[in-house]
Chain A
Amino acid sequence: MGSVGAKDVPVLMSPEGRRIDGRKVDELRSLRITAGALRQADGSAFVEWGANKVMAAVYGPREVHPRHLQENNKAIVQCRYNMAAFSVDERKRPGLDRRSQEISKVIAEAFESVIFVEEYPRTSIDVYIEVLQANAGTRCAGLVAASVALADAGIPMVDLLPAVAVGKVAGHVVLDLKKEEDNYGEADLPMALVPQSGRLVLLQMEGHMNREELAKALDLGVLGCRKIYEEMKRALRERYGPTGASGPMEVAA
C-alpha cells in the first residue's frame, strides 16, 4: 500500500514469526489511557499507544452550531479529527485534509451508533480529537480516547468503543500495525467494536486480503478490542473508582 516505487523495504517479519519491534502477531503495543486529562472540556482523555499520543475532548450536549444542523428528535454528534503539523515526520499542512474529514465522518457515525442521542433533542455532542504524535493507528487511538472522554463527560452510551487496526504484513495477519507495517504491509483494517453486542460500528479496509485472511483479521481484531476495553475501563476506574483522584489529572510527561 502506498509503496509504489518505494525502496529499502524493511524486514517486517522474522523467520521466528516476530515483528519489526519484536511483537508476536497477536500482540498489542503498550497502551496507557488517562481519563480526565484536561480542565476546560466536559470530558477528556489522553491516549499513549505505542508511539502515538492522542488527546480527545468532549463538549456537550450543548447548542448546535451551525443552527440549521439541529435535529428536533435527537442530539447530533459532530467530530473533528485533526493531526497536528508536527505529528508526522514531514510537516503536515495544518487544517483538515480529505483524509481527516473522512475519518471525522466515520468516527461521528460510530459514536452516534452507541450514544443515546434521543435523550438530548436539539443539541450537539462535539467530539474533538487532536493527534499530537502519530505512528499508525491514530484513528483507532483517537476513537478510544474520545470514547473514554465521552464517558468522562457523563454522556449515556450503550457501551465504550474499543478500536484497533488489524493488517496483513509479510503474508501474516497481525494485530495493531505500527508505522513501518502500515507503510509497507499488504493490508490495513481499522475497526471499532461494541463489546456488549459484539458488533462493529467502524470498519474500513484497504489493501489485499482473501476471504480466509479477512475472516481471521476480523476475529483477531475483536480479541484485540476486548483487551483494549479492559484498559479503557481501568482508566475510568482510576479516575472515578473509590481510590481514584477526584480532580482533573495532570497529563503524564
Chain B
Amino acid sequence: MSDEVTAEILTTHILDLAKNGRRLDGRGSDDYRNISVEPGFVSTADGSALARIGDTAVVCGIKLEPGKPFPDTPNAGVLTTNAELVPLSSPMFEPGPPHPRAIEVSRVVDRAIRAAETIDLTKLCVTPAEKCWTCFVDMHVIDHGGNIIDTASLAALTALTHATLPSQRFGIAETDTPLAVQHFPVECTFTRLGDVVVVDPTVDEERAGQGRLTIATDEAGNIVAMQKGLVGAFSPEDVKDLVERAFRHGDRLRAIAQGA
C-alpha cells in the first residue's frame, strides 16, 4: 500500500477514535506525552538542553558573543533565534534552504521569548551603541514525532535558564556570570480532531488534524504569543477555552524547564 493510502486510513482511524474521546496512544485529550529535559547537554555551548516530548527531541544550544547593538536600540543586546529541521529527524525533511515550516518554528519560539522579555536585553549592553552581547538561540530538531514547537520552546527556555555569560573568554569581565532570565514563557500546542481539541499532537495527529493552535503563556498570567497554523479553524470560544488549558500546562512545563 502506498504511503498516501496508509496515511488516509490512519487519519480516518484517528478521527473515529477522537469522536469517542480516545487517542491512538491511549492518552486523554488533555494529556501530554512524557516530558523530560537534560540541561547542559552540549558542553561547548554557553547554555544548552535536550528536551523530549514523547518521540520528539530537540537540542538547543545558546552561544553568547560580543557584537554591535542595532542602531535603533543602542542600549540593548541582540537576540537571534533559529530552528533547523535537520534531515536525520524525519523522512519528511530534506536538506536545503530553510523550509517555511522551519522558519515558522523559529519565529513562533522567538516571538514568545521576545514578547515575554525572557532576557532583559538592556543587561546585554556592554558599551551603548558600540558593544553588546549577541545571544544566539539555535534549536536542532533531531527527532520529529510531532509537536516540534512545544519541544523547541521547552529546550530553548531550559537552555536559557542554565546559560552563562562567557565574560572571561572575551575579556569583558573578570568572572563569568549566569545569564539573567527574568520571565518564563512556554508554548502549548493543540490540534483539532473533529469536535475534540487535543493537546500535544503526534505526527499522525498533526496530519489528521483540522488546524493547529499554539499559545505561549508566561508565569505572570499573560498570553505572550499565539500562532494558528495548518489548514483548519477555531472559534473565538475555542480559543478562550484553550487559553485556560495552555495556562494549566504552562505552569507544569515551566517547572520542568527550571529543573523543579
- List residues of chain A with CB under 8 Å of any chain B CB: 1, 4-6, 72, 98-99, 101-102, 104-106, 109, 112-113, 189, 194, 197-211, 214-215, 218-219, 222
Does B111 count as interface, using CB distance less than 8 angstroms?
yes
- Give the 5 A-B CB pairs with smallest separation, nearest first: A199-B233, A205-B226, A203-B228, A5-B75, A218-B236
Show 7 residue pairs from A and B whose CB-CB distance is below 8 angstroms, ordered by the A residue.
A5-B74, A72-B4, A101-B103, A109-B230, A205-B226, A207-B115, A211-B221
What residues on B are CB-neighbors of A113 within 8 Å?
211, 231-233
A102 in contact with B100 given A198-B235, A201-B232 (CB within 8 Å): yes
A189 adjacent to B226 (CB under 8 Å): yes
What residues on B are CB-neighbors of A206 within 8 Å?
111, 114-115, 224-225
Q: Chain B binding site: helix, strand, loop or mixed by DSSP?
A: mixed
Closest B residue to A197 by CB, please name it.
B233
B104 adjacent to A198 (CB under 8 Å): no
What residues on A are CB-neighbors of B179 within 8 Å?
none
B223-260 interface with A by 8 A CB criterion: 223-236, 238-240, 243-244, 247
Contact with A along B131-165 (1 / 0, CB 8 A): 00000000000000000000000000000000000
Interchain CB contact (< 8 A) of B107 among A99, A189, A210, A222 = A99
What residues on B are CB-neighbors of A106 within 8 Å?
104, 227-229
Does B122 count as interface, using CB distance less than 8 angstroms?
yes
What residues on B are CB-neighbors of A1 within 8 Å?
115
Q: Chain A binding site: helix, strand, loop or mixed by DSSP?
A: mixed
A4 adjacent to B73 (CB under 8 Å): yes
A102 adjacent to B103 (CB under 8 Å): yes
Roughly how many angstroms separate A104 CA and B222 CA in the complex, as a whole number? 27
Does B72 count as interface, using CB distance less than 8 angstroms?
yes
